[in-house]
Structure 1
Amino acid sequence: MDVSHALAGAVPQSFWLDDPGRPAALPPLREDVRCDLAVVGAGYSGLWTALLAKERDPGRDVVVLEGARIGWAASGRNGGFCAASLTHGLPNGIDRFPDELRTLTRLGAENLDAIEATLRKYRIDCDWERTGEMNVATAPWQVAELREYADLAAQYGEQVEFLDAEHVRAQVNSPSYLAAAWDREGCAIIHPAKLAWGLQRVCLELGVRIYERSPVVALEKSVNGPSLRTKQGKWVVADQAVLATNAYPSLLKRVRPYIVPVYDYVLMTEPLSAGQLAETGWNERQGIGDSGNQFHYYRLTADNRILWGGYDAIYHYGSRIRAELDQRPATFSKLAQHFFETFPHLEGLKFTHSWGGVIDTCTRFCAFFGTAHSGRVAYAAGYTGLGVGATRFGANVMLDLLSGKPTELTDLQLVRTKPLPFPPEPFKAVGVNLTRWSLDRADHNDGKRNLWLRTLDRAGLGFDS
């Protein structure tokens, strides 16, 4: 299929960030400062931490240091799925945290409700739609898995409805759909950049000091507390600090082996016409993901474009992160072909934006947490693509850890344990790429996992797209 015409005019930039409503740049840090809490990184993780810290103690002096612009990385480039799950789905949670999964499910639902309440309280307009998410089967072997998932979800009190081919195609018109499991409450779709910009506004209104274009290059321990040095040579000395850099190399070297940065890619279509939208259906506007190991995720925007992303998850040797890697024509072409196979009636539709960027993955596919500098520094990382909602939970975890007092969150196995680290190169690259190849083979072999994948399953070590 020749998709070059559909891709010809695509702007190589995140659709979400290509917005005339983007806030003006904030100034960089130009002098040494002292504060109660310093936050490194102004994506969701850092902004939620700053906001919640001020809500807990309005008098707390909070400084946020951002290396580039607010939300420029994963927080402004993701698909806009704000999910309740804290464990990257129930099956992963059962495998890793069976004894506390009911608690984690409850906490995840409470966290999602709290996000919605915060948006109302502070009048943050981020195109929030609590439409739920539908996982669709596009191969026969996936149908039984979705039926089992719907039954499993019911055991944990989640409203997940199994749909056969007729009923799922009545929801969204695609000849590739064989079945679906629709979680009606556990996910919202949003405009990701507007969420980041809204959190920025609220933080500033609450008195948080935010400095953009102030990359932190060093973290030192001192008698006065964690000391952070920016690239410009300015210092922030704090009583406590939070590291919210996620996929980017941690200021704590011991954390780095737990994270692998993988590149994810996305396309955005032009708005559908009224006729195209009517033929597609999608009246409930739920987010959608297909059920392969290498999967697509997609959803409608407020102006009825379709965001289409996923499938390829590209790791570069040595955990390289480079701006030029944000564009990958081979992947964009593959995604476009898959799009028109899923929605053949939309042939002729064009893509207006194409972009990519890194997400942070770890071997348990959900966030991990920790402290350093005698409990005065906290960190969270490893969200593996589900950080839109879970970062608020992670912010509360980090603040609880810094308090030094046991709480329901700090007592969780999820918080007290770490994933297995990745091996050093060249073994890391070999393992990641062999796993990706094996997952592709499984998708084309009725889901059957080869010896390598079964070995990883037994070891609790793996890779997820």
Structure 2
Amino acid sequence: MTSTVFEREVPAASVIDAALAGSKPVPFWLDDVGPTDVGQPLGGEHTADLVVVGAGYCGLWTALLAKQEDPGRRVLVLESHTVGWAASGRNGGFVEASLTHGQENGENRFPEEIDRLNELGRQNLDEIEKAVRDLGLDCDFERTGSIDVAIEPYQAAELQASAAAAGQVFLDREAVRAELNSPTYLAGVWHKEETALVHPAKLARELARACRDLGVEIFEHSAATSLVPAAGGGDVVVHTDKGRVRAGRVALATNVFPSLLKRNRLFTVPVYDYVLMTEPLSGEQLASIGWHNRQGLSDVANQFHYYRLSADNRILWGGYDALYHFGREVKSEYEDRPETFRKLASHFFTTFPQLEGVKFTHRWAGAIDTSTRFCAFFGTAHGGRVSYAAGFTGLGVAATHFAAKVMLDHLAGRDTERTRLKMVRSKPLPFPPEPFASVGIQATRWALNRADHNDGKRNLLLKTLDAVGLGFDS
């Protein structure tokens, strides 16, 4: 059994201490945009044509597209906190064409549809780019592409084979290091058209601004507490602590938070992802690593890192530890985990030893809504008057735009190519209740870590979970 590169090269504790000293335990993106005027909470009795629950990307795209489709309809958005405060303001800002959490996952889950899903995913990314341009969304959008990098010999062989099969750009050791100079890199695959980068919090704020410009009403600090049929039938009533809305249609975009539909609560679990952000690199520091084409990067281990440059040349460095906490709870106290931030800092300086001395200004975490198939699932309730999408996992920024279109199709009763997809019609297997969920997830994480240390070889547990559709991807 071998050890990974991140365990063979461990920076001195003093290097890690100095880098983390003074870092703020808040998401850089949200800190960067600063406070905005908070919308009023919902109070009293209201009626609407469409209520959207959740003001992250999925909810905001749904409201925006609904209003563009029919400017005369009254659209209300209910948000429990503030626009984009959760995953939409904390993610890495990778806007990926994949709707299926990557090619391999899509091939395993939907082999008969994967080619068309890839086409729809690229079309979806093009539509987002067009919306950014047409609506003037100030969100640091860059169509940079991305590189998958190998840091172990077996990964390099796998990347070469996959690139050849898909007609993608394979980079050998010298070529990948010419793009981004790290002594850990053995090979890479450059996906030139399939990734854009954004400032996540700016995207959320700008989507909300575009919604309001069209007449969408957004109520913040208005957590939806229940969803019930209206007296007399035909409509649905959404309750908050201080008000309620009677609506003809409801779109649920609550993602990691407990669904208002109890039937869906076993379909996702919250998995915490951790992130560091450096100070802006100097010209000399940036020159030492290259990165002239500013691609997004990730390694291809089971426990992987993702990283990218911000508009002001900071490096965002996240991933590896994907942690589930017993009980499916989402709690702020899970977000500041010193041992994970130290591990991330250690891996950062192993990857870029020439950047020793760089400091991290921000450290943060957030919960990701993960399903057993690692991509979104969809459905309706209350006789088609309610639609939902959830389970986006880690590549959900672009997929939320596609999901918004699916939900609007469902709510309008439209039979479209989107609604006929197996990915849209099928459901993931639910996670078991506690304590079985916690035991199973922790055992799977251990097995994935072991595979990363053993040339990627999956043990009996992982093979069994793969066979029944209960695999786990960090």
Shift of 1:96: 1.0
For residues 335 and 344 of structure 1, what CA distance do their matches in structure 2 show?
Answer: 14
Q: Residues 138-185 of structure 1, C-alpha deviation per residue, up to 9 Å, x if partnerless?
A: 01110111112212333xxxxx31100011001101000000011000
Q: In structure 2, which of residues 300, 319, 338 is the aligned counterpart of residue 329 of structure 1?
A: 338
User: Which residue does the alignment assign to 2:246?
Assistant: 237
The secondary structure found in structure 1 opposite 2:112 is helix
Query: What secondary structure does 1:339 align onto?
Result: helix
Contact 2:43–2:244 (CA<8 Å) still a contact in 1? Answer: no
- Distance in 2, matches of 1:270 and 1:399, equals 41
Q: CA deviation at 1:200?
A: 0.3
Aligned: 1:218 with 2:226 = yes
Matched, 1:31 2:44: yes
How far 1:287 sits from its partner (Å)?
A: 0.1
Give the superposition deviation at 1:231. Answer: 2.3
Distance 1:21 1:442 in 2: 42
Q: Which residue of 1 aligns with 2:178?
A: 170
Q: CA deviation at 1:21?
A: 5.1
| TM superposition shift of 1:341 | 0.2
Aligned position for 1:228 = 238
- Report the TM-score, using the length of structure 2 for normalisation: 0.96
Residue 169 of structure 1 aligns to a residue in which SS?
A: helix
Task: Choose which of 362, 366, 387 in structure 2 pairs with 1:353.
Answer: 362
Partner of 1:206: 214
SS at 1:371 equivalent: strand
* Structure 1 contact 131–185 (Cα < 8 Å) conserved: yes
The answer as to 2:197 corresponding to 1:189 is yes
Amino acid at match of 1:374: G
Measured against aligned partners, the alpha-carbon deviations of 1:245-303 in whole angstroms (never above 9, x if no partner) come to 00110000100111011000000000000000011100000000001000000000000
Sequence identity percentage: 61
Deviations 1:105-161 (CA, angstroms, capped at 9, x unpaired):
11101100000000111100111110001000001110111112212333xxxxx31
Counterpart code for 1:83 = E
User: Is it true that 1:247 corresponds to 2:260 in the alignment?
Assistant: no
Residue 118 in structure 1 maps to residue 131 in structure 2: yes
Report the more deviating stretch, 89-98 or 245-254: 89-98
Q: CA deviation at 1:22?
A: 4.4
Q: 8 Å contact 1:268–1:352 — kept in the other structure?
A: yes
Q: 2:466 is matched by which residue type in structure 1?
A: D
The alignment covers a number of residue pairs equal to: 459
Shift of 1:224: 4.6
CA contact under 8 A between 1:133 and 1:184: conserved in structure 2?
A: yes
What's the counterpart of residue 290 of structure 1?
Answer: 299
Q: What corresponds to 2:461 in structure 1?
A: 452
Q: What is the correspondence of 1:343-382 to structure 2 with a 5 Å cutoff?
A: 343-382=352-391
SS in 2 for 1:162: strand
Q: Distance in 2 between matches of 1:142 and 1:332?
A: 25
Contact 1:361-1:382 within 8 A present in 2 as well = yes
**Aligned residue number for residue 106 of structure 1:** 119
Q: What is the CA–CA distance in structure 2 between the aligned matches of 1:297 and 1:409, rounded to whole Å? A: 30
- Cα drift, residue 23 of structure 1: 2.8
Does the 8 Å contact 1:23/1:197 carry over to 2? Answer: no
Are the equivalent residues in 1 in contact too, given 2:33–2:201 (CA < 8 A)?
no
Query: 1:139 is matched with which residue?
Result: 152
- Paired position in structure 1 for 2:26: 13
2:267 maps to which residue? 258
Whole-angstrom distance in 1 between the partners of 2:222 and 2:66: 21
Render the CA deviation track for 1:69-103: whole Å, top value 9, x for unaligned: 10000000000000000011111111111111111
Supply the AA of the counterpart residue of 1:395. Answer: A
1:385: Cα distance to partner?
A: 1.1
Cα distance in 2, alignment partners of residues 20 and 321 from structure 1: 24
The corresponding residue for 2:324 is 315
Q: TM-score, normalised by structure 1?
A: 0.98
- Structure 2 gaps of 5+ residues are 1-11
**Partner residue of 2:393?**
384
Partner Cα separation in structure 1 for residue 33 and residue 379 of structure 2:
38
2:7 counterpart residue number: none
Residue 320 (structure 1) shift: 1.4
Paired residue secondary structure (1:142) = helix
Q: 1:377 Cα shift?
A: 0.3
- Counterpart Cα distance in 2 of 1:21 and 1:325: 23
Amino acid at match of 1:197: R
- Picking from 401, 407, 414, the partner of 2:410 is 401
Q: Secondary structure at the match of 1:396?
A: helix
Rounded Cα–Cα distance in structure 2 between residues aligned with 1:73 and 1:108: 24
Bigger mean CA offset, 203-212 vs 101-110: 101-110
- Partner of 1:379, secondary structure, is strand
**Residue type of the partner of 2:323?**
I
Contact 1:39 1:65 in 2 (8 A): yes
Q: CA RMSD in A?
A: 0.9
- Could you say which residue in structure 2 is the equivalent of 1:157? none
Q: Distance in 2 between matches of 1:144 and 1:403?
A: 47
Shift of 1:31: 2.0
Q: Work out the CA distance in 2 between the residues paired with 1:31 and 1:342.
A: 55
Contact 1:224 1:237 in 2 (8 A): no
1:464 offset after TM fit, Å? 1.1
Is 2:158 the counterpart of 1:130? no
Amino acid at match of 2:188: A
Does the 8 Å contact 1:22/1:197 carry over to 2? no
Question: Which of 49, 54, 65 is equivalent to 2:78?
Answer: 65
Change (3 A) 1:330 1:21: closer
2:33/2:202 contact within 8 Å kept: no
Separation in 1, partners of 2:461, 2:330: 27
Unaligned ranges ≥5, structure 1: 155-159
Whether the 8 Å CA contact 2:27–2:90 is kept in 1: the answer is yes
Query: CA-to-partner distance for each residue in 1:198-219, whole Å, 9 max, x for gaps?
Result: 1000000000000000011111
